[in-house]
Amino acid sequence: MGLAAGAGVLASVSLVGGLAWRGELVSADLRQRLLPARLRSASRVFVIAIDDDSVRAAVAEPRIRNWPWPRWTYARMLDVLALAKPAAIGIDILFPEPRDGDDELAGKLKETPAVLACDSGANGGPGGISVPGPPPAEAPDRGVVSRPVSALAAVAPYAAIHVEADADGITRAFPLVSRCDGTALASLPLALAVRAGASVESRHDGVWVNGRRVTGADGTLWLRFASLGTVRYIPAWQVLEAWQSMFDGDDPARVTAFLAGLEGGVVIVSATATGAFDLRPTPVAALSPGSEVQATAVADLLDGRRLRPPSVWLQTAAAAGMALLVGVLSLLVRRPALLTLSGLALVAGWCVVAGAAWAKADAWVPVCLPVLGGVLAIPTLLVEGWWREGMERRRVQGIFGRYVAPDILRVLLEHPEAARLGGERRRITVLFSDIRSYTTLSEKMPPEEVVGWLNEYFSEQVAVIHAHRGTVDKFIGDAVMAFWGAPLPEAEQERLAARCAEEMIRTSRRLGEEWRERGGPPLAIGVGIATGDAVVGNVGAEQLRAYTAIGDTVNLASRLEGKTKDLAVPVVLDEATASACGLLVRAVGEVTVKGRAAAVKVFALPALDV
């Protein structure tokens, strides 16, 4: 899990250079397209579009012909629009120089709730709309660029239309205020919202609309776009045609019927024609008219929406959190394929939650870094798991490879958790075997020969023990200790131990015949077996430990092996082993053993009688 968290932090490093932020913007664009806003106020926002059709229609009008249109055309449009009684009319077109028709337009501006446009931070001279309060702390200082010609600025307020795209050229936000001569100059959407009845205040921490903060300290409104077609567009040629019809004596109510619904709404007069060069990429379209951005900003303000981009810290925390979640998942799911699928499902679930928060609450839950953190955590955990599994396999193999049969070792390698090494009490069956008269033999033979005969003997007997699923504990001189029931539980431990003892006796007899033919020493062994509880686990010093069994059962098995010579039988079983082994046994009496006050009933295996 530590590596998983590290993957999340590493994912956050991609914030350097803005890579992660660009990825987050792309994910937000996808949400804008797939989960468009349902703007309640969109029905109150209209665009009078000077579109390609309107430009073509103007070409046929001798008094208009070329772009830009004379100012009296806007006066006529205002004349018609005034009949619909909108709350605000924004003219998203710059009038920086005197033109034909300025006087006529100025006259209509006095009679309508119109707001003109200025480019960037035109000074706050007469007519500039300043928002009450100080500019937001991080609002840009755009300086003086241009404002409407004085004849128009004297009769109508104006507001800024400057908007900047992100580094990738996509427009996602709108600066609501600009710092200009120490005041907060309103943008056109903000000014129109004020005209439509919104209460606006500028503070150091952002812009507040109707008591809600809608921007951060930079004064920028992140736009929540609706689907294309939500904002209603009315061609400018229809408005001019309506004016001409009224001038010719037609009923104004009839010729302006197409303006139904504008009462109390917000109207934006804007050039959308191809040659107007006011087309810009947005999250919902490759090219959107600037009026679409303006209208979206107005609707967002009237709805009181605030789309707050996630901070760097939130993105980093989300990435680390997702990586940790995948890490927790890895503790529950061990199979690599299932972990991969589950991890990807968790990442997909995060995306679903982020989408739901976006759609239902306009909440911008970070996606890019959490997804990256989760996706990076999956292979990281897989590699860590493979590494740990390899370490565990090597550990288990190092501990048990010398003790247990290959088939048991394979089970332990597949399920290392089955090998509890800390020491636990288990019911086991312990076997001790010993070569009779070994001390006498070792005194008569050179040590090198003794070792050679012992190695051959031990190799044969260990093979027998492993064949009967036993665990070889240790060699003590010429003695062998083995047990059943650990490290893996064994339901038939008594039977397997008894069968193993039979085979060990037969093997020793065969080996003794072979040694005699080769001039070797005589070979006879005794075996003692006892069943009961013992503590099994890794025992020893920190520097050297061994897997072994400790307890009274071990001592009893060793004592019973020592009684085989006195009882003249090759194998001696205690009562617990004899009653559970399922083999034919023969009682041979009771014996006293060191460490036990009561006598112990013992049994032999008739199959070994000679």
- Residues 455, 533, single domain; the answer is yes
Looking at the domain assignment, is residue 324 inside a domain? no
CA-derived radius of gyration, the chain? 46
pTM for this predicted structure: 0.66
Q: What is the mean pLDDT of the chain?
A: 84
**pLDDT level of residue 16 (50, 70, 90 thresholds):** very low
- Residues 243, 357, single domain; the answer is no
Element (H, E) at 174: strand 173-175
Q: 158 has which bridge partners? A: 116, 128
- Residues 108, 162, single domain; the answer is yes
The Cα 536–Cα 558 span in angstroms is 17
- Residues 432, 283, single domain; the answer is no
Residues in the chain: 610
Mean pLDDT of 313-337: 84
pLDDT at 401 over 70: no
**pLDDT level of residue 124 (50, 70, 90 thresholds):** very low
Which residues, including other chains, have CB under 8 Å from residue 213's CB and lie 6 or more apart? 203, 205, 206, 207, 306
- Residues 126, 98, single domain; the answer is yes
Confidence at residue 274, expressed as pLDDT on a 0 to 100 scale: 82
- Residues 42, 12, single domain; the answer is no
Interhelix angle 236-247/52-59, rounded to 10 degrees, is 40
pLDDT at 18 over 60: yes
- Residues 8, 135, single domain; the answer is no
- In angstroms, the Cα distances linking 596 to 209, 487, 566 are 92, 28, 18
Percent of the chain with pLDDT over 90: 37
pLDDT at 467 over 50: yes
Structure tokens at 215: 């921007």
- In angstroms, the Cα distances linking 563 to 446, 523, 559, 589, 594 are 29, 18, 7, 11, 12
The structure tokens 């209603």 sit at 232
The end-to-end CA distance of the chain, in Å, is 64
Looking at the domain assignment, is residue 47 inside a domain? yes
Confidence at residue 37, expressed as pLDDT on a 0 to 100 scale: 85
Please tell me what DSSP assigns to residue 154.
T
- Residues 128, 20, single domain; the answer is no
- Residues 486, 592, single domain; the answer is yes
Looking at the domain assignment, is residue 308 inside a domain? no
- In angstroms, the Cα distances linking 377 to 11, 23, 385, 564 are 9, 18, 12, 62
Q: 425 has which bridge partners? A: 535
| Chosen domain end from 282, 303, 324 | 303
The answer to whether the beta carbons of residues 516 and 456 sit under 8 Å apart is no
The answer to whether the beta carbons of residues 577 and 565 sit under 8 Å apart is no
Per-residue pLDDT of 585-608, as tens digits, reads: 999 999 988 878 889 999 999 988
Looking at the domain assignment, is residue 152 inside a domain? yes
Confidence at residue 5, expressed as pLDDT on a 0 to 100 scale: 47
Per-residue pLDDT of 342-394, as tens digits, reads: 888 888 999 999 999 999 989 999 999 899 888 888 887 777 767 766 565 66
Confidence at residue 132, expressed as pLDDT on a 0 to 100 scale: 79
Per-residue pLDDT of 526-579, as tens digits, reads: 999 999 999 987 776 665 567 788 899 999 999 999 999 989 999 999 999 999
Per-residue pLDDT of 404-450, as tens digits, reads: 556 555 655 555 554 555 567 889 999 999 998 776 666 777 888 88
- In angstroms, the Cα distances linking 467 to 494, 506, 558, 605 are 15, 14, 22, 20
The answer to whether the beta carbons of residues 517 and 402 sit under 8 Å apart is no
Confidence at residue 8, expressed as pLDDT on a 0 to 100 scale: 47
| Chosen domain end from 400, 435, 457 | 400
Helix, coil or strand: residue 291: helix
Determine the residue type at 245. S
Mean pLDDT of 278-296: 89
Helix ranges, 285-367 (H): 290-303, 312-332, 336-361
Looking at the domain assignment, is residue 270 inside a domain? yes
pLDDT at 499 over 90: yes
The answer to whether the beta carbons of residues 59 and 65 sit under 8 Å apart is yes
pLDDT at 510 over 70: yes
Confidence at residue 194, expressed as pLDDT on a 0 to 100 scale: 92
The Cα 493–Cα 498 span in angstroms is 9
Confidence at residue 431, expressed as pLDDT on a 0 to 100 scale: 96
The Cα 355–Cα 218 span in angstroms is 26
Looking at the domain assignment, is residue 327 inside a domain? no
| Chosen domain end from 400, 427, 448 | 400
Question: Cα-flanking dihedrals φ and ψ of residue 241, to 5°?
Answer: -65, -35
pLDDT at 258 over 50: yes
| Tally of domains in the chain | 3
Looking at the domain assignment, is residue 562 inside a domain? yes
Confidence at residue 543, expressed as pLDDT on a 0 to 100 scale: 58
The structure tokens 């300025």 sit at 102
Name the more confident of 144 and 312. Answer: 312
130-131 sheet: strands from edge to edge: 130-131, 183-186, 177-180
Confidence at residue 418, expressed as pLDDT on a 0 to 100 scale: 47
Confidence at residue 505, expressed as pLDDT on a 0 to 100 scale: 93
Q: What is the CATH number of the domain that holds 442?
A: 3.30.70.1230
Helix, coil or strand: residue 187: strand
Confidence at residue 17, expressed as pLDDT on a 0 to 100 scale: 43
The Cα 190–Cα 202 span in angstroms is 11
Helices (H) and strands (E) in the chain — how many of each? 19, 24
Please choose, from the candidates 383, 390, 515, the residue with its C-alpha nearest in 3D space to the C-alpha of residue 450: 515
The answer to whether the beta carbons of residues 201 and 287 sit under 8 Å apart is no
Per-residue pLDDT of 71-122, as tens digits, reads: 999 999 999 999 999 999 999 999 988 988 899 999 999 999 999 998 764 4
Please tell me what DSSP assigns to residue 454.
H
With 0-12 / 13-18 / 19 or more C-beta atoms within 10 angstroms meaning exposed / middle / buried, residue 603 is: buried
Mean pLDDT of 457-472: 91
- Residues 440, 537, single domain; the answer is yes
Looking at the domain assignment, is residue 144 inside a domain? yes
Confidence at residue 602, expressed as pLDDT on a 0 to 100 scale: 94
Per-residue pLDDT of 144-180, as tens digits, reads: 557 788 889 889 998 888 888 888 899 999 999 887 7
The Cα 599–Cα 133 span in angstroms is 102
- Residues 277, 176, single domain; the answer is yes
- Residues 290, 342, single domain; the answer is no
Domain residues for 4? 1-36+333-400
The answer to whether the beta carbons of residues 47 and 268 sit under 8 Å apart is yes
